[in-house]
Amino acid sequence: MAVKDIVKYPDPRLKVTSDSVYQIDKYILQTIKDLSDTLDAYPHTVGIAAPQIGITLRIIIIDASKKRNCRDNHGKLVLINPEIYSYDGLLQFREGCLSIPDFTANINRAKEVSVCYYDTAFKRQFVKASDFEAVLLQHEIDHLNGVLFLDRVISKRTDLFRRKKYI
């Protein structure tokens, strides 16, 4: 059991593009174990990306089943080199991030995503996720590209009200 410290912004590791994983070795398996233990240590946290524990490799773990009343989900999933290959629909969700404590914001995301990835046996897999789990996948995959939810914040007021023109 190794719960790692969470890397917090402005740590530069959160803003880089992470490297692909080319083979499963002891180091990768240990990283996955550490990520999993760290994710499990936070009851209100539903996903984690390797850069959040300081390892800039393309590995994420999601667990949408930790959310109350989340009907459609694939449970706890380890995704290596995940790639979103299709997006559909639009959904707004209030997101928070372990790496940016005490701040949440409304973010627009695709309502459905299809993702290809490698599993822990380095076998190619596909997953189609919707709603909360789709938001979660997009948030974590953003981490692998150095994108934080702060990059996608939408202002509340301009989101709600189209501005009148005053002449």
What is the footprint of another protein within residues 36-95 (CB under 8 A)? Answer: 42, 44-48, 66-68, 94-95
Q: Work out whether 139 is an interface residue with another protein (CB under 8 A).
A: yes
Which listed residue (17, 20, 30, 104) binds another protein by CB under 8 A? 104
DSSP 56: -
State the Cα–Cα distance between residues 53 and 61, nearest whole angstrom: 12
Which of the residues 83, 95, 112, 140 is marked catalytic? 140
- The DSSP line for 103-156 is EEEEEEE-SEEEEEEE-TT--EEEEEEEHHHHHHHHHHHHHHTT--GGGGB--H
Beta strand pairing status for 124-130 and 112-118?
antiparallel
Q: Is the peptide bond before 12 cis (omega within 30 degrees of 0)?
A: no
Q: Work out whether 156 is an interface residue with another protein (CB under 8 A).
A: yes
Has 140 been annotated as catalytic?
yes
Beta strand pairing status for 112-118 and 100-109?
unpaired
The distance of closest approach from Cβ of residue 33 to another protein in the complex, given in angstroms and rounded to an integer, is: 20
Q: Work out whether 161 is an interface residue with another protein (CB under 8 A).
A: yes
The distance of closest approach from Cβ of residue 121 to another protein in the complex, given in angstroms and rounded to an integer, is: 25
Which residues contact another protein by CB under 8 A? 42, 44-48, 66-68, 94-98, 101-104, 136, 139-140, 149, 156-157, 160-161, 163-164, 166
Give catalytic residues, as residue numbers.
Answer: 140
